[in-house]
């Protein structure tokens, strides 16, 4: 039930993020809905396929699609009357990242994967939807931009989640603390421009 609630929150927030991103590209209503759906279910779908979990989570429970459609349409209506700032997209994406990363890690735990694979599956769940969204919108995927910590925040948060359980913390508290870690790292990266070291073989400086 905890995973189900996390995923419902995750798809809702991710649908908002996808709708805001699509709106910045002036897509029509169908385009906004498609981007919202892809952003919300992309990571979880890839995870379920790799883990051979059938049916895929949103096919097994169509409630996810209703939540996505509702969140997307509410975002469209809101944006008709108020212009959301660009940072609203980043904040929505941040909370989606945290919710999906930890719920993905919990699902990987259920099938008793190694800690390394739990981190991989959780990170994939949190980031793949946004990657697909950016590809559809012809943007450089956020996961690859050097100016903001993104997947790294998910990796650190999931690692914290596993370590907190190892020292005896209840799963619920470990999940909440770890999501806070992910959100804090991501928001710090957005506000202060935190980034990982750059690797470049070129003599010229890297360009954004």
**204 in any annotated domain:** no
**137 in any annotated domain:** yes
**69 in any annotated domain:** yes
Share of the chain above pLDDT 90, in %: 73
| 146 pLDDT above the threshold of 70 | no
**105 in any annotated domain:** yes
| 191 pLDDT above the threshold of 70 | yes
Torsion of Cα atoms, 115 then 5 then 92 then 38, to 10°: 80
Count of structural domains within the chain: 1
Q: Where are the alpha helices (DSSP H) in 51-193?
A: 57-60, 63-81, 86-110, 115-136, 151-166, 171-192
Confidence of residue 199 (pLDDT cuts 50, 70, 90): low
**208 in any annotated domain:** no
The answer to whether 68 touches 57, Cβ cutoff 8 Å, is: no
Q: pLDDT (tens digit, 9 = 90+) per residue, 100-126?
A: 999 999 999 999 999 999 999 999 999
Range of the domain at 179: 2-192
**198 in any annotated domain:** no
Q: What is the distance between the alpha carbons of residues 32 and 19, in angstroms, rounded to a whole number?
A: 5
Q: pLDDT (tens digit, 9 = 90+) per residue, 37-83?
A: 999 999 999 999 999 999 999 999 999 999 999 999 999 999 999 88
């Amino acid at each position: 039930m905890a995973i189900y609630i996390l995923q419902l929150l995750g798809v809702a927030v991710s649908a908002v993020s996808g709708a805001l991103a699509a709106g910045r590209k002036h897509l029509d209503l169908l385009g906004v809905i498609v981007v919202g759906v892809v952003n919300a279910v992309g990571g979880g779908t890839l995870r379920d396929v790799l883990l051979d979990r059938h049916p895929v989570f949103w096919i097994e429970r169509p409630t996810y699609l209703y939540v996505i459609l509702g969140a997307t349409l509410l975002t469209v209506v809101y944006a008709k009357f108020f212009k959301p700032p660009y940072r609203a997209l980043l904040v929505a994406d941040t909370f989606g990242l945290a919710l999906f990363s930890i719920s993905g890690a919990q699902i990987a735990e259920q099938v008793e994967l190694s800690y390394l694979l739990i981190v991989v599956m959780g990170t994939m769940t949190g980031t793949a939807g946004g990657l697909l969204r950016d590809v559809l919108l012809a943007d450089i995927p956020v996961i690859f931009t050097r100016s903001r910590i993104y997947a790294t925040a998910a990796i650190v948060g999931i690692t914290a989640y596993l370590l907190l359980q190892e020292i005896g913390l209840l799963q619920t508290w470990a999940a909440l603390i770890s999501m806070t870690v992910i959100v804090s790292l991501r928001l710090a990266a957005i506000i202060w421009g935190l980034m990982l070291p750059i690797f470049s073989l070129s003599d010229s400086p890297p360009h954004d």
